[in-house]
């Protein structure tokens, strides 16, 4: 007798809204837990290659911390690069400045590094909503659960 592998249909996938508070959380560990929820690995019906994850709303991103033995040097030596597409259009910003000006971008880059770098990963990242302060416009969706 042959066993059939269960493959979830699109109608069977239920996506919840999860609100996470980043206050006092370590950047890397927090990004790993967000990626875990986005991919749906916390669900018993998890199937690799299928978008099973939930929507994640992160608040208080400005209060995320960076720890470790090289914390002070990491804040200066970790550089984020972006390019405009024009010659000489390379811009760089340190982790310290990124956390001070756009803490949501630092967390989004950390989560993106833990997701698959393909079209599924890009689709999963769209379900991540990050806000620097405690307020967010997704209170209605999060309350529906």
- The residues, ordered by sequence, that sit 6+ positions from 32 with a Cβ below 8 Å of its Cβ are 114
Cβ atoms of residues 104 and 59 within 8 Å: no
Q: Using CA atoms, how far apart are residues 48 and 81, in angstroms rounded to an integer?
A: 31
Domains of the chain: 15-66+99-144 (3.90.1180.10)
Arithmetic mean of pLDDT, 3-10? 85
Predicted confidence at residue 145, as pLDDT, reads: 58
**pLDDT per residue as tens digits for the range 27-84:** 999 999 999 999 999 999 898 889 999 999 999 999 999 886 666 678 888 899 999 9
């Amino acid at each position: 007798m042959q066993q059939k592998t269960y493959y979830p249909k699109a109608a069977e996938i239920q996506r919840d809204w999860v609100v996470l508070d980043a206050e006092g959380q370590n950047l890397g560990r927090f990004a790993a837990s967000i990626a875990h929820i986005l991919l749906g690995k916390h669900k018993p019906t998890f199937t690799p290659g299928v978008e099973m994850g939930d929507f994640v709303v992160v608040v208080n991103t400005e209060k995320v911390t960076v720890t470790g033995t090289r914390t002070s040097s990491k804040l200066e030596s970790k550089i984020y690069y972006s390019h405009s597409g024009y010659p000489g259009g390379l811009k760089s910003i340190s982790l310290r400045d990124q956390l001070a000006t756009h803490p949501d971008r630092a967390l989004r880059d950390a989560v993106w590094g833990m997701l698959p770098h393909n079209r599924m990963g890009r689709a999963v990242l769209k379900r991540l909503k990050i806000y620097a302060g405690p307020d967010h416009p997704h209170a209605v969706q999060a309350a529906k659960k």
